Structure 1
Amino acid sequence: MKEGFYGFYYYRSIASKWIILAVALLVSYILLKIQKNTSVLLDVISNSLLMGFITLKLSLILLQPNLVINSPLSLLYFTGGKIGFWLAVIIASAVYFWGTRKLEILFQTKVQTYGLYVLYSFSVYHLLFLIMNQEWHHFFYLLIPIFVLIWWLLKNKSIQVLKNVTIMAVLSGLLGWAVYEHQTKTQSAEANANVQTGIQKGKKAVDFTLETINGEAKLSDYKGKKVILNFWATWCPPCKAEMPHMEKFYKENKTNNVVILAVNLTSSESDESNVRAFMKNYGLSFPVLMDADGSVGDTYQAITIPTTYFIDSEGIIQQKLVGPMSKDTMEDMIEKIN
């Protein structure tokens, strides 16, 4: 998928992840709706999803109370991460089975319906991720529902259908592996070729030099380190929400060959002194660079802020994120680059 065509999905972002999840849940709901003997359970599933979502959002208070205290806006933009997700799954499951306790339906039917919804959601989510983001490892996640289907067909002795499904699964697996191998070889060949300079994923980050609060900083000076290049402004609410997360991440990782360069779009500030006051109020210790004329922000197309680039130790852009980052997001992103 090329930049400019559904470019919102070209770069992996939190927003795209949540949109894909929402679509997966909706499609799964529709699939259950058209099946027999499941519609009576859909209201209960809806309630369980609502409680799961509330749990996911509020899990941040339980898991990182200090961050919420320092940045109440975190509740609007962030969740409790992976632990919060599994906590939400547990609560949603509990609400579902509690809500079905008085329905005159076999317990086996309740379990099968819930299992189908989870399986549908899982399959659609990874299929959409595969299509939208071209992240081929999601293909292998799709093998899980295929194996579940094969097991179900074996259990119900649907031999002919099983043969057809097995043949399709084997052919799909071979095709997927071939595509994955081609993708890997292509990426390897590209990595060995001369890398062009640009702001797209896979290109060498455009170098620049900017004044900082205490001196001067040049992007290329940080080659050998993993760089989180963040564009922000003091008047930006999501920027305010992510700053405590960035500071906590930086303090825990600055000795691990990681640096945060926070480029303030100073040309958009009403008063440059606001930047110093902001840094003091939020206790920021990572380098803050002043883009006085807005040229660097223009170069990196920081139209919507915060905008963040994740640059590997060779100076190559690996990911771009539009929107606020949680500490978990930064840890996840940095772990995946060299």
Structure 2
Amino acid sequence: MENYLSIGSFPVKMVWLAILGAALIAYGLLGLKLRKEPDKKDLLDVLSNGVVLCWFVWKISYAVLHPILTVKQPFNLLYFSGGETGLVLGIIATLLYLLRTSGKCELDRGRVFYAGILGLTLFFTFYYGAQYISASLLADGLISLFFALLSIYLYTLGSFELRKTVLSMLVTALFFSALTNSPLGGKKEDAKAVAAVASGIKPGNRAPDFELQTIEGDTIKLSDLRGKVVFVNLWATWCPPCRAEMPEMVRYYKDHSSKDIEVLAVNLTDSDSEKEVKKFAQDFNLNFPILLDPEGKVGDTYKTVTIPTTFIIDKKGIIKQKHIGPMSYEMMEDFYQAAK
């Protein structure tokens, strides 16, 4: 299954569809659970506002964590977030909001947190269930099963007592800790299977080889970079999200170019201009190889419809991931760790 759905030339990540679907189902079931409660509307409003606040803080925290980049490229706020640090800030802000608002609206805090935990367990049940069904991942299936059992307990036998809510949170935290440190946290790779994969552009295929010239006139061949994790980034100067991700890529390459990492920025020169590419590289202080694809052969081979598109290729030349859209520093690090 592809990790995105293309609507025309606009890519929609499947994971976001799973998140939206799971959230709607969880909200509906939570509303059904609270249907006889006199303060149902207040509870649902407070929790919904808490979710929106968490998302907003997570998104806007990029400006707090990277103020200089935000000033230089304000549109980065459209494409990037504060990552894990931003998520923590969002959770803290949401908890403070729930504590303050529940008191202001005269809602029992135990009821608010119970309803919140129930909503979260319902959400994770369906979210990981969708991931398991689409990709048949054992770990996701077990997580979904765990949350399903916890949801049934909270939905049928749980009360609004805070102690039960706290217990549920502790059990969930322990479960994730055990999962992270178990063999389920990763998958073993069959070396023979990897060696036998066919060339193609899907994860698991051997990356199609190509040879292009850089803007300096040097020649780079993809297969010569075996032994390194390679980011093959297809882009153009006229593409706003491409412009947004370049400072992030420059920052990442500066910190990691001494490692077994290479970034190949393949410009789709058949729809661009070599003159503009060189000016762009100078304006953005690009520190990684900029390759020219004047006939669009690499773009065609890698079937690039939407840009930027990046293929993350492991040390054996196997495509580990295909990412559509701009990359942040944190995303590149995650891709590298998964591919090395």
Shared fold (TM-score, shorter chain, > 0.5):
yes
- From the superposition, tell whether residues 14 and 287 of structure 1 become closer, same or farther in structure 2 (CA, over 3 Å): farther
The residue type paired with residue 63 of structure 1 is L
Deviates more, 1:126-135 or 1:85-94: 126-135
Judge conservation of contact 1:24–1:125 (CA < 8 Å) in 2: yes
- Distance, in Å, in 2 between the alignment partners of 1:43 and 1:239 is 38
Match of 1:24 in 2: 22
- From the superposition, tell whether residues 150 and 117 of structure 1 become closer, same or farther in structure 2 (CA, over 3 Å): closer
Judge conservation of contact 1:266–1:294 (CA < 8 Å) in 2: yes
- Residue 112, structure 1, aligned to residue 110, structure 2: no
Match of 1:239 in 2: 242
Match of 1:85 in 2: 87
Secondary structure, in 3 states, of the residue corresponding to 1:278? helix
- Distance, in Å, in 2 between the alignment partners of 1:296 and 1:148 is 49
- From the superposition, tell whether residues 288 and 135 of structure 1 become closer, same or farther in structure 2 (CA, over 3 Å): farther
- From the superposition, tell whether residues 219 and 64 of structure 1 become closer, same or farther in structure 2 (CA, over 3 Å): same
- Distance, in Å, in 2 between the alignment partners of 1:213 and 1:102 is 62
Match of 1:273 in 2: 275
The residue type paired with residue 248 of structure 1 is R
- Residue 35, structure 1, aligned to residue 53, structure 2: no
What is the TM-score with the length of structure 1 in the denominator?
0.82
Match of 2:298 in 1: 296
Question: Among 46, 51, 54, which residue is 1:52 paired with?
Answer: 54
Secondary structure, in 3 states, of the residue corresponding to 2:190? helix
- Distance, in Å, in 2 between the alignment partners of 1:78 and 1:6 is 18
- Can you give the 5+ residue segments of structure 1 that lack an aligned partner in the other structure? 157-179
Match of 1:73 in 2: 75
- Distance, in Å, in 1 between the alignment partners of 2:151 and 2:13 is 31
Judge conservation of contact 1:47–1:96 (CA < 8 Å) in 2: no
1:54: Cα distance to partner? 1.5
- Distance, in Å, in 2 between the alignment partners of 1:108 and 1:299 is 57
- Distance, in Å, in 1 between the alignment partners of 2:139 and 2:12 is 18
- Over residues 210-238 of structure 1, what are the superposed CA-to-partner deviations in whole Å (9 max), with x where a residue is unaligned? 01011111101101100000000000000
Q: How many residues align?
A: 306
Deviates more, 1:244-253 or 1:17-26: 17-26
Judge conservation of contact 2:58–2:82 (CA < 8 Å) in 1: yes
Judge conservation of contact 2:4–2:13 (CA < 8 Å) in 1: no
- From the superposition, tell whether residues 89 and 40 of structure 1 become closer, same or farther in structure 2 (CA, over 3 Å): same
Runs of 4+ in 1 over 4 A off after TM superposition: 5-8, 149-156
Secondary structure, in 3 states, of the residue corresponding to 1:205? coil
Secondary structure, in 3 states, of the residue corresponding to 2:306? coil
Match of 1:262 in 2: 265
- From the superposition, tell whether residues 310 and 328 of structure 1 become closer, same or farther in structure 2 (CA, over 3 Å): same
- Can you give the 5+ residue segments of structure 2 that lack an aligned partner in the other structure? 160-182
Match of 1:198 in 2: 200
Match of 1:227 in 2: 230
Judge conservation of contact 1:198–1:205 (CA < 8 Å) in 2: yes
Question: What is the percentage of aligned positions where both structures have the same residue?
Answer: 38
Higher relative contact order (CA 8 A, sep 6+): 1
- Distance, in Å, in 1 between the alignment partners of 2:108 and 2:191 is 57
Judge conservation of contact 2:232–2:311 (CA < 8 Å) in 1: yes
Judge conservation of contact 1:230–1:307 (CA < 8 Å) in 2: yes
1:89: Cα distance to partner? 1.6
- Distance, in Å, in 1 between the alignment partners of 2:4 and 2:250 is 32
Judge conservation of contact 1:32–1:39 (CA < 8 Å) in 2: no
- Distance, in Å, in 2 between the alignment partners of 1:117 and 1:149 is 9
Secondary structure, in 3 states, of the residue corresponding to 2:196? coil
1:68: Cα distance to partner? 1.6
What is the TM-score with the length of structure 2 in the denominator?
0.82
